[in-house]
Structure 1
Amino acid sequence: MTRIAATLVIGPSAAAREAAIAGVVDEHQRTALILEGLPDGTSPFPSPLPSWLTIVRIAPGCICCSGNLTMQVTLNRILRQHPERLFIGLVNSMHLPQIRQFLQQEPYDKWLSLTSELTA
């Protein structure tokens, strides 16, 4: 099984995080984005979205402090689509080590290969 390259994205605003992702995304890879927080009304991604790109937004709130349920459900739905690349945009980087640890535990350790963070 090929593991999915997963990158945590941190930055001061939704627009900055999305712009950072748009700068590195490869249109030749099926890519999924899980973006925490509300968009600011602009997006660097085309509308309608191309078939190789999936974007899912979740409400802001610390992923590790909220019991991970929202992240688990969202991540499980995304993984069923078999993306080749995954970006997770975080509103707050304060608990980055706990979030990385969550993503490195079963069952996600078999699906994901975490990369270095992308900072906007």
Structure 2
Amino acid sequence: MIPALLVSGGDYLARETAVAGRLAATATLSSVEVILEGLPSGQAVLVPTPSLHIQRIAPGCMCCIGNLAMRVTLNRVLRRKPGLLVISLASSEHLDNIRRFLTQEPYDSLLQLADEIRL
């Protein structure tokens, strides 16, 4: 199972900085996939590398818009079988709905919701 970290709240830069800090502490991973909701602030904290893949999806509550953008992006990312998946959400408001989504089929057998950072 792929460990998944959820990061939510704060602004885009704060979330990206929190993700970068967590990744620095887990530098031994061979492959990390990061899904970032929202538009960058102009300051790139995370820079893609051969072992760090970054996917950016348009802002908007992923549970309220039917999870289509999340589902498509997540399915594409999971095909690469990363050592860690990080999902950064703009708001903590609907975090329980996202958690529920990630613990349903088919994701329940693919992901292990390991940790959470709320800003």
Q: Do these two structures clear the TM 0.5 threshold for a shared fold by scoring above it?
A: yes
Rounded to whole Å, the distance in 2 between the matches of 1:16 and 1:41 is 13
Deviation by residue 1:64-107 (Cα, 9 ceiling, x = unmatched): 11011111000000001110101100011111111100000000
**Structure 1 unaligned regions, length at least 5:** none
Rounded to whole Å, the distance in 2 between the matches of 1:53 and 1:105 is 26
Letter of the structure 2 residue corresponding to residue 31 of structure 1: V
Partner in structure 1 of residue 62 of structure 2: 63
2:18 corresponds to which of 14, 20, 38: 20
Any conservation in 2 of the 1:13–1:91 contact (CA below 8 Å)?
A: yes
Partner in structure 2 of residue 102 of structure 1: 101
**Structure 2 unaligned regions, length at least 5:** none
Letter of the structure 1 residue corresponding to residue 28 of structure 2: H
Rounded to whole Å, the distance in 2 between the matches of 1:99 and 1:45 is 23
Rounded to whole Å, the distance in 2 between the matches of 1:90 and 1:112 is 17
Partner in structure 1 of residue 82 of structure 2: 83
**For 1:44-63, what aligned pairs fall within 5 Å after superposition?**
44-46=45-47, 49-63=48-62
Deviation by residue 1:20-76 (Cα, 9 ceiling, x = unmatched): 010011332110100000000112224xx2100000000011111101111100000
Partner in structure 1 of residue 91 of structure 2: 92
State the aligned residue count: 116
TM-score where L is the length of structure 1: 0.92
Q: Secondary structure at the match of 2:115?
A: coil
Any conservation in 2 of the 1:35–1:58 contact (CA below 8 Å)?
A: yes
2:3 is the alignment partner of 1:5:
yes
Q: Secondary structure at the match of 1:117?
A: strand
Identity of aligned residues (%): 50
